[in-house]
Amino acid sequence: MEKENIAVGLDIGTTKIVAMIGKKNEYGKLEILGVGKAKSLGVARGVVNNITQTIQSIQQAVLEAENDSGYKINDVVVGIAGQHIRSIQHTDYVIRNNPEEVISEKDIQLLIDQVNKLAMLPGEEIIHVLPQEFKIDGQPEIKEPIGMSGARLEASFHVVVGQASSIRNVGRCIQSSGIELSGLTLEPLASADAVLSQEEKEAGVALIDIGGGTTDLAIFKDGIIRHTAVVPFGGNVITEDIKEGCSIIEKQAELLKVKFGSAWPGENKDNEIVSIPGLRGRDPKEISLKNLSKIIHARVVEIIEQVFTEIKAYGHEDPRKKLIAGIVLTGGGSQLKHIKQIVEYITGMDTRIGYPNEHLAGNSSEEISNPLYATAVGLLMNSVEKNSNSAYKIELKEVTPEQPKVVFQPKVETIQETPVLEVVNDEVQPARVEHKITTEEKIKKSFFDKYVEKIKEFLDNAE
């Protein structure tokens, strides 16, 4: 039987941990076999800050995905985020021994390996080395150098760097959960794979993934990744602001945000009020939806402006770097009402909400097409590309009807065959009590007799 290429992605987020099992169908689309979701405890702003809690959440999500799919997970591709992520542009070259020989994958790998050896700041580690454009003997703007020939192969790289300790902590959590780590991917890159089309990447697009703890940015132009950044704010700070501003508990603040929240205060009338039950018999609290929207608006504007600063740092105003496809919003935060309009207003760029259904098979459930799962779908795609057999089917053994267990039944043997009853003076009376001895007793007796004999023998010899 042909070995199935089953892939697994694990998204360790600040609010939720998602394990997703899937495979490619015959049309090259992703077929989701199982999803497991657990509340994320022990992760703050994309960084693990409590290993024990994170392990428990991972195990819960993994177990749920395994039960949902009927597959056992071996290894996973994990997303990495957090404010410690930074990206740098770097140019490097190699001189080839034989300029006449055509450039192969091996030459490019040699160049990438060379960049991987770059000296970083203490405590930092390279996560990704992404080639952008190549030069061969000074000829610029070559996208695909394989098959060409030349002596000097040069390339500009987008290098993603992260804190070594944070990366190690993620690895430790995975291994302690009883699974292996098969790869690390920057979360904005994973989300981009899930929600962007090739045309958008060619035209120029900025992907903004608004998560619980962080907002991730990935900019593409001419089909190449140009800029990545992680802003250390997300949906959780909005909830925190509502909690403080309305003097309510976090659970209520989150519900308010999801059910009634809007990023555009002008939408709400002054007389729209929501009543929230008080704690332990206290009077209910009345909250104006206009005030709620004002709180959300202030924080959303702050997050989007920080992201826009990063887009400006990339240089989107330069005609050659123009982002024609505008902005794509994804992640749980993108579901906030009127956020699309706010982003368009601040940046002046076309905006759409990105759903991870670009590469999913047609029969995928509506829930998986939710922007919440963009990163998990992207990580799953990354695992598929690795051709790793990350999970195997749990073989259900055929249930054969159980044979009744043979319990030792003592065999009854009678010593004498004499009448048990006799008639005395016209009355029936027992002649004697018949003694029955069982085979079990016989065995016990014979064993005991032998044991006593052995002791006697030992004592006799001792004398």
Helix, strand, or coil here: 107?
helix
Task: Say what the pLDDT of residue 27 is.
Answer: 85
Helix, strand, or coil here: 244?
helix
Tens of pLDDT, residue by residue over 143-161, are 899 999 999 999 999 999 9
**The residue type at 93:** Y
Which CATH number do you get for residue 337? 3.30.420.40
**The residue type at 14:** T
Task: Say what the pLDDT of residue 339 is.
Answer: 95
Residue 450 lies in a domain: yes
> What is the arithmetic mean of pLDDT over 63-83?
92
pLDDT for residue 447 is more than 70: no
**The residue type at 256:** L
Task: Say what the pLDDT of residue 453 is.
Answer: 66
pLDDT for residue 128 is more than 70: yes
> What is the arithmetic mean of pLDDT over 367-396?
87
Q: Grade residue 14 by pLDDT with cuts at 50, 70 and 90.
A: very high
Strand pairing category for 427-430 and 421-424 = antiparallel
> What is the arithmetic mean of pLDDT over 185-192?
94
Does residue 449 sit in the same domain as residue 325?
A: no
Does residue 344 sit in the same domain as residue 432?
A: no
Residue 421 lies in a domain: yes
74-78, 376-380, 424-428: which range is least confident on average? 424-428
Nearest-Å Rg of the Cα atoms of the chain is: 35
Task: Say what the pLDDT of residue 1 is.
Answer: 39
130-139, 276-285, 446-455: which range is least confident on average? 446-455
49-53, 62-66, 218-222, 276-280: which range is least confident on average? 276-280
Greatest mean pLDDT among 118-127, 276-285, 418-427 lies in: 118-127
Q: Grade residue 165 by pLDDT with cuts at 50, 70 and 90.
A: very high
Task: Say what the pLDDT of residue 164 is.
Answer: 94
Count of structural domains within the chain: 2
- The residue with greater pLDDT, 205 or 364, is 205
Q: Grade residue 458 by pLDDT with cuts at 50, 70 and 90.
A: low
Q: Grade residue 235 by pLDDT with cuts at 50, 70 and 90.
A: very high
Does residue 348 sit in the same domain as residue 417?
A: no
Residue 379 lies in a domain: no
Does residue 224 sit in the same domain as residue 295?
A: yes
Tens of pLDDT, residue by residue over 87-96, are 999 999 999 9
Residue 93 lies in a domain: no
pLDDT for residue 282 is more than 50: yes
Does residue 209 sit in the same domain as residue 351?
A: yes
Q: Answer with the one of 314, 338, 356 that is the final residue of a domain.
A: 356
Residue 117 lies in a domain: no
**Residue in 243, 208, 217 with CA at minimum distance from that of residue 333:** 208
Task: Say what the pLDDT of residue 460 is.
Answer: 65
Q: What is the pTM of this model?
A: 0.81
> What is the arithmetic mean of pLDDT over 22-27?
89
Residue 124 lies in a domain: no
Q: Grade residue 266 by pLDDT with cuts at 50, 70 and 90.
A: confident
**Would you put residue 165 in left (φ > 0), alpha (ψ -120 to 50) or beta?**
alpha
Query: Residue for token digits 């056992």?
Result: 72
- Which residue segment(s) compose the domain that 457 sits in? 412-462
- The residue with greater pLDDT, 315 or 438, is 315
User: Angle between the 289-314 and 250-260 helix axes, to the nearest 10 degrees?
Assistant: 80
- The residue with greater pLDDT, 75 or 422, is 75
Q: Answer with the one of 356, 382, 404 that is the final residue of a domain.
A: 356
Residue 135 lies in a domain: no
Query: Residue for token digits 């006593």?
Result: 452
CA 428: distance to chain centroid?
A: 85
- 301: which strand partners? none
Task: Say what the pLDDT of residue 77 is.
Answer: 95
Mean pLDDT of the chain: 86
Share of the chain above pLDDT 70, in %: 84
- The residue with greater pLDDT, 335 or 454, is 335
Does residue 245 sit in the same domain as residue 335?
A: yes
